[in-house]
Structure 1
Amino acid sequence: MFRHSQLESVKAWIAHPAHVTMPLHARIQRAIRQLIVNGALASGKPLPASRALAKSLDVSRDTIEAAYSQLHAEGFIERRVGSGSFVAEMTDFSAGRRLSQRDALARNQAPNLSKRGNAMFRSGGVREQLVPRPFAPGLPETRSFPIQLWERLERQVLKETGTQALLHGNPQGTEPLRRAIADYVNLERGARATADRVLVLTSSQQALTLCANMLLDAGDSIFIEDPVYYGARRAFDAAGLIPVPVPVDRQGIIAEHILEDPLKAKAVFLTPSHQFPTGATLALDRRLALIEWASRHQAWIIEDDYDSEFRYTGKPTACVQGLDPHDRTIYIGTFTKSLFPGLRIGYIVLPPQLVKPMTVARTLLDGHTASVAQLTLARFMEGGHFGAHIRAMRNIYAERLEVLTKLVGIHLSEFIEPRVPIGGLQMPCLLTCEISERAAIDAARRVGIELLGLSPLHASGSGRAGFLMGFAAYTPAELEIAVKKLKTAFQNIKI
């Protein structure tokens, strides 16, 4: 018979919620097999008679016989007529158990990864909020999205395309969506795009990874804004690139630092329309200077236009790509912030010579973006719904920014100095008290509030302490509750 502990182990395995969907005989077979593999049942040890085990587990004898038959078929046990069932002699797992213990120790050590794998792992990746918590930045309001309209358009797509939409799609993206994107960025962003220059991807992060790996070699340098979007920096680090931080002022990246040492890097990464995280807009003369630098030295400009749709004061400036007559600018856009994150559609407008190489490289990552979502989005844009949604959300976000600014002035003025942006989905704030950035973030998290610190975004390590406060995804009432919680959390910090 099994010892009491072994019998209890089998019962626990059978009753575990993760196993209840399996047939009963399979659960019993797996539980006994696990005892053998773990070395709890050594080679040659007898198993309980099927009748006795059936009684102990309160199951039928046929169920035990089915479990034993499967163990025998897999070679874990031997069945001897007139003698019973025994753990197979040829299956000695005692050494394996000792090896497993060593493996358990090894699991706590650094994994044996490639250099690129280590760089990706050390970066920590890009983790988004699964459930929005104030004041997580970069999150749009999804509760106001016209989901019924979207469902109707999706049904139209499925009715007209039938099973064709269920097959593999064009890795460059469906032609209707590429055409709609080109029309949009030409009209609204002053770009120079055609449908054949658009590559539809799952996200701007995928676009950054493609650029890092296709345009530069490991060990090459790339100019980056300082501070910089963390997702871009991690993509470049993972590709083995050497970031060269360039300071940012109220007119964006200081181009003179690049022009003074033009050969120091082969590319520059920019968020010119709305610099992340400062919110600065890159001045026209600096844009033109960088365009000429890229042309003269055959360098690349990687332009991330991540939330340019949401500008609350003044007129939007044209994107750098639209000003570049030399085709040295790669323009990256996404629908994650303008529509909803679950859509998983971004895009990249490429110079003609890069379209085929980038499309081929994309097939090695994920093949293609889901056709049904692409075709639905194309109809959403062609029908004017995208523009209408953007205009509606721009008004909502402008109101929420105004509310947050007033709340910060009333409740948090002794702790922080807000830098009210002209656009975007988050507001940078600088700490003006003796509270450290880490202490502020930790205190906020304890009361259910998420803040993104500014210091880690500075590659040079010279930035002032502070954090971003996302406001777009939260109603005025939610913003007020969160600001008051944050005030209490800061007041309770022991300096």
Structure 2
Amino acid sequence: MFRHSQLESVKAWLEHPASAALPRHARIQRAIRQMILDGALGPGKPLPASRALAVSLGVSRDTVEAAYTQLHAEGFIERQVGRGSFVAEGPGFSPGTSQPPPCGPLSAVVPSLSRRGMAMVAGGGVRESAHPRPFAPGVPETRSFPLPLWDRLQRQIVKESGTRALLHGDPQGMEPLRRAIADYVNLERGARATPDRVLVLTSAQQAMLLCATVLLDPGERIFVEDPAYYGARRAFEAAGLECVPVPVDGQGITVGPILSAPHQARALCLTPSHQFPTGATLTLERRLALIDWAQRQQAWIIEDDYDSEFHYAGKPTACVQGLDPYGRTIYVGTFTKSVFPGLRIGYAVLPPQLVQPMTIARTLQDGHTAPLAQLTLARFMEGGHFGAYVRSMRSLYAQRLDILSGLLRRHLSGIVEPRLPVGGLQMPCMLTPEISESGTVQAARRAGVELLGLSGLYADRQQPERSGFLMGFAAYTATEMEEAVRAVAPVLRGRGLRHSPPSR
């Protein structure tokens, strides 16, 4: 028979909220198993009769029998007809060999991580809110998406494909979608793409990780824009790469630091269409200079064209990949911004020699992207619906950008300087020198408004002239933006957010 403390331990498993989702027999089985692992029940120790234990615990005998049966199947106990149940002799557990808590997760155990794992944790990951508030950047409008049309197209695919749409897909991506992507980037972005050079992925972030792990070894260097998108930088650092920051000005990434030290890094990641977060567009002269550098050094250019569909001033510049005759550029795109975030489809247009190794590497990550979503998106693009939707969103976003800039001029003149971008889903805003960026961001969050501070996107965060924040505008109506600006205006005008004057 159990000692009183052992019986209480089993009762604790039965009543603990952490095990509430488990059936009763599983809770009893795990409690006894843990006592065996801890050495509290040694080899050969008899267990209470199932009827007696059932009475003590207030459960049915069948519940205890089910627990004993599972423990026997796992090799923790032996059952002898006419004698009862005993802790198995084989495992040889002893006190002190296992010290987990009585029940619940092993939350107190400090994990032993690899250097790459520690880099991932230190970076903090990239988290997107399921319910973004104004003015979270990078969030598209989803309430206007034509869901009935999407549903109709998906039902067409299911009717035509049947259960084939439920099977594993091609790791490189379904051919109809690869063909639609190639046609789109060739026409709209001036790319050099064919369906056999397109790799369909779950996100642009996955493309960054693939590039980092397939093209470079841990410890090697990659040039990155400064400031830069935090997700790309963290992906490279998590892969063990050293990011070399290169300053950005009004014409995009500066090429001087790269050309003056051409061997310093074997790859470059850039956002030439709308630099994140400044919104600058990389000039043609600089694009050609970087293409020449990549060819001479046999380096790689990773072109993140994350939201080029939304260009509001003039014609968008042709992508770097389309200007590169040497095949040193990897073009990365995503439908997260142009369709909807939950779609989870991105892609890369690869040089021919990288298609096979990148596809193989992709199979080791997540195998493939869901075929049904791919085929539905392909039908959405083939029918002209994607182009029509992007055009309507481009017009809507331009209106919302104009509304937001007007609201800032009306309510925050003299405190915030908006810098209208030529495209994209967010607008950089600079703070006057006496206003604290971190204090503003924290106070705005308490007021229900999300602002992304700019200084944290720089390699050197101690630059007062870089103080400001990003304001996303694409996903929010005029009313929502006005309410949010009115909520944050008193925060920015509050004396408590001003830097203390220097002591004399």
- In the other structure, the counterpart of 1:478 is 480
Q: CA deviation at 1:306?
A: 0.5
Tell me, yes or no, if structure 1 residue 382 matches structure 2 residue 382: yes
Q: CA deviation at 1:232?
A: 1.5
- In the other structure, the counterpart of 2:168 is 168
Mean CA deviation greater in 483-492 or 123-132: 483-492
- In the other structure, the counterpart of 1:237 is 237
Q: Distance in 1 between matches of 2:351 and 2:80?
A: 74
SS of equivalent residue, structure 1 residue 302: strand
Tell me, yes or no, if structure 1 residue 346 matches structure 2 residue 342: no
CA contact (8 A) 1:416 1:433 kept: no
Equivalent positions of 1:213-228 (< 5 A) are: 213-228=213-228
Q: Distance in 2 between matches of 1:45 and 1:485?
A: 67
Q: Which amino acid aligns with 1:479?
A: M
Q: Which amino acid aligns with 2:123?
A: S
Question: Alignment identity in percent?
Answer: 70
CA contact (8 A) 2:177 2:374 kept: yes
Q: Distance in 1 between matches of 2:435 and 2:44?
A: 66
Aligned length: 492
Q: Distance in 2 between matches of 1:131 and 1:54?
A: 47
CA contact (8 A) 1:172 1:199 kept: yes
Mean CA deviation greater in 28-37 or 322-331: 28-37
Tell me, yes or no, if structure 1 residue 156 matches structure 2 residue 156: yes
TM-score normalised by structure 1 residue count: 0.89
CA contact (8 A) 2:78 2:85 kept: yes
Q: Distance in 2 between matches of 1:18 and 1:109?
A: 17
Change in 2 beyond 3 A, CA 1:209/1:74: closer
Mean CA deviation greater in 186-195 or 106-115: 106-115
TM-score normalised by structure 2 residue count: 0.88
SS of equivalent residue, structure 1 residue 257: helix
Q: CA deviation at 1:39?
A: 5.8
CA contact (8 A) 2:255 2:290 kept: yes
The gaps in structure 1 that reach 5 residues or longer are none
Give per-residue Cα distances to partners, 1:321-360, cap 9 Å, x unaligned: 1122222211111001101111111111112222222222
- In the other structure, the counterpart of 2:64 is 64
Change in 2 beyond 3 A, CA 1:8/1:110: closer
Mean CA deviation greater in 138-147 or 81-90: 81-90
Equivalent positions of 1:90-489 (< 5 A) are: 95-96=95-96, 99-100=99-100, 111-461=111-461, 463=463, 464-489=466-491
The gaps in structure 2 that reach 5 residues or longer are 499-504
Q: Distance in 1 between matches of 2:429 and 2:248?
A: 16
SS of equivalent residue, structure 2 residue 95: helix
SS of equivalent residue, structure 1 residue 96: coil
Q: Which amino acid aligns with 2:384?
A: G
Change in 2 beyond 3 A, CA 1:327/1:39: same
Q: Which amino acid aligns with 1:481?
A: E
CA contact (8 A) 1:453 1:466 kept: yes
Change in 2 beyond 3 A, CA 1:126/1:43: same
Give per-residue Cα distances to partners, 1:114-146, cap 9 Å, x unaligned: 333333332222222222122221111112111
Change in 2 beyond 3 A, CA 1:261/1:431: same
Q: Distance in 2 between matches of 1:249 and 1:73?
A: 67
Q: Distance in 2 between matches of 1:60 and 1:297?
A: 74
Give per-residue Cα distances to partners, 1:372-417, cap 9 Å, x unaligned: 1111111000000001110111122112212221222233335422
Q: CA deviation at 1:422?
A: 1.7
What do you get for the CA RMSD once the two structures are aligned? 3.0
Q: Distance in 1 between matches of 2:351 and 2:497?
A: 55
CA contact (8 A) 1:414 1:433 kept: no
